[in-house]
Amino acid sequence: MSRDGVKGREAAGDAPKVTITDIAREAGVSVPTVSRVVNGRSDVSPATRARVEDLLRRHGYQRRSAPGDRAALLDLVFNDLDSPWSVEIIRGVEDVAHAAGVGTVVSAIHDRAGSARQWMTNLRARATDGVILVTSALEPLMHEELRRLGVPLVVVDPAGAFALDAPTVGATNWAGGMAATEHLLGLGHTRIGFVAGPARLLCSRARLDGYRAALDGAGVPVDDTLIVQGDFYPESGFAGCNDLLALERPPTALFASSDQMALGAIEALRRRGLRVPEDMSVVGFDDLPEVRWSAPPLTTVRQPLSDMGKLAARTVLGLAQGIEPASARVELATELVVRSSTGPRG
């Protein structure tokens, strides 16, 4: 490619079409070496760098980004990426960020201090514009560090007992727990089992309190033997359902405070040859895409996970521009979705 040719196109206002392959050939170096020079890496010898820089300049090579012209990034941090739950939130955040020209950096810190420190190191290096934490037990020291760095922070569905000086986006867990229980009461059930989520999470507590409130409202005494402990994963729904079935007077309906526990409970019933909903009604919580196709399709409480992600992204991008959210704590509405796993008391 002749320099005149390049100049001609530059004069016409077009971007010069010289590639780094052209540059590498002319400089007598490899393509990755040119790439390292372009990207400002240090692992190139000074002589090679000078030769490549000279050719880039002479050909008017258009760099992907000029120094100081850093693109916007947003960090979305999970404890784990082991649930279909997480992809719903990623989808919502990505949707808003993508449209704003902002990249969504997804990380998992696995509740490990070493991993969280590594993430914090990476975060400092990439100079993110904002952080969205999802139900994370990120250590208080990390919060302190984020605040010191002046990085805007929004928390989705804050779960722990720690007080955060950051806006939060959640769902109406209490109202959802109440709606699920009222649905079962309305079908004539009075012995309703409850499989709770981890006690350390506020959302678990809110769902349990909603369950109790609905029973109280209907004048049905709360029987603590019908409340079993789970951890949101299917195995604990399976075990919890078995425990309830072993009672002298088992419940006729079961409210699991996560869809995954509801699926575990349905499997426990199936193994005993019990039918859903004929022998036991089951309600979940979350409305993961997959439970529309569980056998039977699951009645559940829809958490607007994707919308929560969208709102968190809008809030943190606003904070990065100095716009404080109208409310520091927002709860989006949950909604009961009735499918085929619940029916009248037999």
Q: At what angle do helices 259-271 and 234-245 cross, to 10 degrees?
A: 50
Whose Cβ is closer to its own copies: residue 85's or residue 174's?
A: 85
Nearest C-alpha neighbor of 143 from the set 158, 320, 4: 158
Q: Give min distance, CB of 266 to its own copies, in A.
A: 5
Q: Give min distance, CB of 58 to its own copies, in A.
A: 17
Nearest C-alpha neighbor of 305 from the set 258, 237, 238, 236: 258
Of these, 46, 101, 219, 273, which contacts its own copies (CB under 8 A)? 101
Q: At what angle do helices 202-217 and 173-186 cross, to 10 degrees?
A: 40
| Segment lying near its own copies (by CB under 8 A), choices 118-126, 131-139, 208-216, 327-335 | 118-126
List the x/- string, 146-185, binding to its own copies by CB under 8 A: -xxxxxx---------------------------------
152 vs 131: CA distance, rounded Å: 6
Residue 264 gets which letter from DSSP? H
Tokens, residue 231:
């951890």
Strands 168-171 and 329-332: parallel
Whose Cβ is closer to its own copies: residue 83's or residue 181's?
A: 83
123 vs 129: CA distance, rounded Å: 10
Contact 104, 97 (CB under 8 A): yes
Question: Rule CB under 8 A: is residue 274 a binding residue for its own copies?
Answer: no
Whose Cβ is closer to its own copies: residue 263's or residue 301's?
A: 263
Q: Give min distance, CB of 332 to its own copies, in A.
A: 19
Tokens 């409480």 identify what position?
Answer: 301
Of these, 7, 38, 164, 335, which contacts its own copies (CB under 8 A)? 38
Contact 269, 241 (CB under 8 A): yes
Q: Which of residues 279-308 bind its own copies (CB under 8 A)?
A: 288-290, 292-297
Q: Give min distance, CB of 68 to its own copies, in A.
A: 5
5 vs 11: CA distance, rounded Å: 10
Contact 150, 322 (CB under 8 A): no
Whose Cβ is closer to its own copies: residue 166's or residue 215's?
A: 166
| Segment lying near its own copies (by CB under 8 A), choices 155-163, 202-210, 223-231, 262-270 | 262-270
Burial 211-224 (b: 16+ CB within 10 A, else e): bbbbbeeeeeeebe
Of these, 40, 140, 186, 217, which contacts its own copies (CB under 8 A)? 40
Phi, psi dihedrals of residue 337, rounded to the nearest 5°: -115, 115
| Segment lying near its own copies (by CB under 8 A), choices 29-37, 177-185, 192-200, 212-220 | 29-37
Q: Give min distance, CB of 320 to its own copies, in A.
A: 7
Of these, 11, 12, 47, 99, which contacts its own copies (CB under 8 A)? 99
Question: Rule CB under 8 A: is residue 225 a binding residue for its own copies?
Answer: no
Q: What stretches of 173-292 show up as alpha helix (H) in DSSP?
A: 173-186, 202-217, 234-245, 259-271
Phi, psi dihedrals of residue 196, rounded to the nearest 5°: -85, 155
| Segment lying near its own copies (by CB under 8 A), choices 101-109, 173-181, 183-191, 207-215 | 101-109
Total residues interacting with its own copies, rule: CB under 8 A: 81
Q: Which of residues 54-73 bind its own copies (CB under 8 A)?
A: 64-65, 67-73
Whose Cβ is closer to its own copies: residue 91's or residue 200's?
A: 91
Nearest C-alpha neighbor of 193 from the set 259, 241, 263: 241
Question: Rule CB under 8 A: is residue 45 a binding residue for its own copies?
Answer: no
Residue 201 gets which letter from DSSP? S
Of these, 59, 129, 178, 231, which contacts its own copies (CB under 8 A)? 129
| Segment lying near its own copies (by CB under 8 A), choices 52-60, 219-227, 241-249, 256-264 | 256-264
Q: Give min distance, CB of 327 to its own copies, in A.
A: 18
